Amino acid sequence: MDLSSENLIPQVQHSDVGHGRGVYVSTYGCQMNVNDSERMYSLLEMANFTPVASPEQASLIIINSCSVREKPVHKVFSEVGKYRKLKQKNPELKIGVGGCVGQQEKENLMKDQPMIDFVFGTDAIDQLPTMVAQAFAGEHRLVKAQFQHRAPYHVETLVRNPGVSTFVNITKGCDNFCTFCVVPYTRGREKSRPLKHVLQDINELIGRGVKEVTLLGQNVNSYTSDCGADFADLMEKVAQETKIERIRFTTSHPKDFNQKLVDVMYANQPKICEYIHLPFQSGNSRVLETMNRGYSREEYLQKIEMIKKAIPNVVLSTDIIVGFPGETEEEFKDTLSLVQEVGFETIFAFKYSPRPFTKAARFEGQIDEVTKSDRLTRLFEAHDLMARELVKRYEGQTLEILIEAFDEKRGNLSGRSSQNKLVYMPGDASLIGKTMPVKITKAFPAVLRGEILPVQ
């Protein structure tokens, strides 16, 4: 398939807007934003900007912001403030704000901070070279933050150095409206890429040396292609019709995790990795209901049982919110007990933070900061004790590790197991991209150490 005929890459972009000037993108938030920043760099490189490693070297600075928790607007302003001196030294310097705060605040950002030259939303990334050209032509206070609700979701992966493992967007936006979450307002309605585009994209990445892809979306397992394929169908096709060595995905939603997907994961091992990030948010069914998560504690546990039955070696991680409005001490204890019951090796836990537009921000029973902090500390302490014990089982095991990088400072290789365990081991850079048997010598909760065994 000829991608250009499907208009996957915006038609800018080979104009000389940049004249070789430096561009620096400062990235906050989730993997989606990391991918978006790569897209921004790639598009701006096509328009003859040069990516640089620090803001001091740049004539164009872009802040790719996140607003999922705590004081995001404040963070944007404090970063822009740091560039005051640079702007005085170099009056040509342009500053743009994109990402979820750009989408959420639009022109409000300019009202309060005149140093910002332009603001663009999450659906306006492909218009960036045009906006930047306008900014350098002297236009000030430009804003492009309309959602492109009708436009199909066509985004060939644009990444400068994909390395061994890379992320591939398959869905964008979210229609779930969990009552705490700003994402449906900052990323818009959920859309899926056509299945054939995803396959083509992965094949091109394989041609650039990629061995592992992580399929990415706010809610990957509600993926629906225009041809009717669902997420399980997509996973099966990627496993069977491409030569990719490993497939991961994030983030999946418990309510959309079904037996069909588990069956596809089982049938396509070891290509599909034995690792699932499955956020539960709260271990209490009443709290889950007020969060509008669409499952109860019991239903979540049933899904875990279904997964563990088919894939006994599966490793699970999760996201948790503590101090959601109205959460009692007893309800919080249900969260503690769910962590133990499932045996998560990794947790990402956060204090509830009221977000603009969301229902929960207006709920009664907002919890004070001291209680939230206390619950978060207790959760991390309990999890840490458990994780230390859980990972001991890796010591002495031999795991298949896809080698991803060589750290010159430490003289170490790093890579990951199917279960997403990060492993450090001695070795040389020629092994990058190879999958090697590694005997684990020491296990810590966040990393394992090991030694590469000779291939049989």
Q: Which residues bind ligand F3S (CB under 6 A)?
A: 29-30, 32-33, 66-68, 99-100, 182-183, 186-187
Q: How many CA atoms lie within 13 A of 456 on its CB side?
A: 4
Q: Tokens for 339, please give them.
A: 């962590």
| Helices and strands counted in the chain (H then E) | 14, 19
Query: Out of 144, 197, 211, 253, which residue is the one contacting ligand SF4 (CB under 6 A)?
Result: 253
Residue 455 gets which letter from DSSP? P
Angstrom distance (rounded) from CA 233 to CA 243: 17
- Does the footprint of ligand SF4 cover residue 192 (CB under 6 A)? no
Three-state SS at 27 = strand
Which of ligand SAH, ligand SF4, ligand F3S, none does 336 bind, CB closer than 5 to 8 A by kind? none
Which of ligand F3S, ligand SF4, ligand SAH, none does 355 bind, CB closer than 5 to 8 A by kind? ligand SAH
Q: How far is the CB of 281 from ligand SF4 (least distance, A)?
A: 7
Q: How far is the CB of 142 from ligand F3S (least distance, A)?
A: 21
x-marked contacts with ligand SF4 along 200-229 as a string, rule CB under 6 A:
------------------xx----------
360 neighbors 321 (Cβ within 8 angstroms): no
271 neighbors 247 (Cβ within 8 angstroms): yes
Query: Out of 18, 184, 323, 325, which residue is the one contacting ligand SF4 (CB under 6 A)?
Result: 184
Three-state SS at 426 = strand
203 neighbors 195 (Cβ within 8 angstroms): no
- Nearer Cβ to ligand SF4 (177/406): 177
Q: How far is the CB of 218 from ligand SF4 (least distance, A)?
A: 4
Angstrom distance (rounded) from CA 402 to CA 418: 8
Q: Which stretch binds ligand SF4 (CB under 6 A): 40-48, 177-185, 268-276, 383-391?
A: 177-185
Angstrom distance (rounded) from CA 403 to CA 423: 9
β-bridge mates for residue 57, sequence order: none
Which of ligand SF4, ligand SAH, ligand F3S, none does 177 bind, CB closer than 5 to 8 A by kind? ligand SF4
Which of ligand SF4, ligand SAH, ligand F3S, none does 184 bind, CB closer than 5 to 8 A by kind? ligand SF4
Binding residues among 65-94 for ligand SAH as defined by CB under 6 A:
68-69
75 neighbors 40 (Cβ within 8 angstroms): no
Instruction: Give per-residue burial for 305-317: e unless 16+ CB within 10 Å, then b.
Output: ebbeebbeebbbb
Q: Which residues bind ligand SF4 (CB under 6 A)?
A: 174, 176-178, 181, 183-184, 218-219, 253
Q: Which residues bind ligand SAH (CB under 6 A)?
A: 68-69, 180-181, 183, 218-219, 251, 253, 279, 281, 319, 321, 350, 352-353, 355
